[in-house]
Every structure is written in structure tokens, then in C-alpha cells.
Amino acid sequence: MDEGSQFLVSALEHLMRLPLGSKSERDAWYIESKRVQRTLSEWFPDLDFPHEIWHFLADADIRAREDGYRKYQEQIVTEYISKARGEHHTA
């Protein structure tokens, strides 16, 4: 796995573990997300990953209130991580 993919996989795993239950938790989540977005843009601008990952990085407030959307985004992220690692993921 290349350095950019390693960074993104690690960042996504970290973000998936962070809680979103309260406004302060979501605020902290967005601080981390913005750091990830900045690093992707500055250090890995040519990294190829699904566009939906950008939505994951921007939509924590929606995930916090809409369980179906949360599950959908988490599935996309999980599948990306598995693919990046060369694993075969079955839902």
C-alpha cells in the first residue's frame, strides 16, 4: 500500500472510532476531519479514492442523526479500507 493510502486508511479508522453523540464530540470529529482533508490536499493530491469518502469527511452531523446514512457511509469506508489493504470484504 502506498503512503497516501496508508495515511487515509489510518485516518478513516481513527475517525470511525470517534463518537458523534454530542455537539462537542462532533466538533472534535470535524477538527480531526479537517486535518485529514488538509493533509490529503497538501501531501497526497493525486491519491485516488471514492468520492464518497469526501462526504464521510464532511457529513458527521448527518450521520449523528440519520442511522441509515451512517450505516451507508460506514459501509463505503469499510469497503475502501478493505480494498486498500487488498482484503476481500463481503457485506
Alpha-carbon dihedral angle through residues 33, 45, 48, 35, given to the nearest 10 degrees: -10
Q: Which domain holds residue 26?
A: 3-85
> How many distinct structural domains can be found in the chain?
1
For residue 23, give the amino acid letter. K
Residue 39 within any structural domain of the chain = yes
Residue 13 cell numbers, joined: 479508522
State residue 88's pLDDT score: 60
Residue 91 within any structural domain of the chain = no
Whole-model pTM: value is 0.91
Residue 48 within any structural domain of the chain = yes
Residue 43 within any structural domain of the chain = yes
Residue 19 within any structural domain of the chain = yes
Residue 11 within any structural domain of the chain = yes
Low-confidence ranges of the chain (pLDDT < 50): 91
Residue 90 within any structural domain of the chain = no
State residue 1's pLDDT score: 87
Q: What percent of the chain has pLDDT over 90?
A: 93
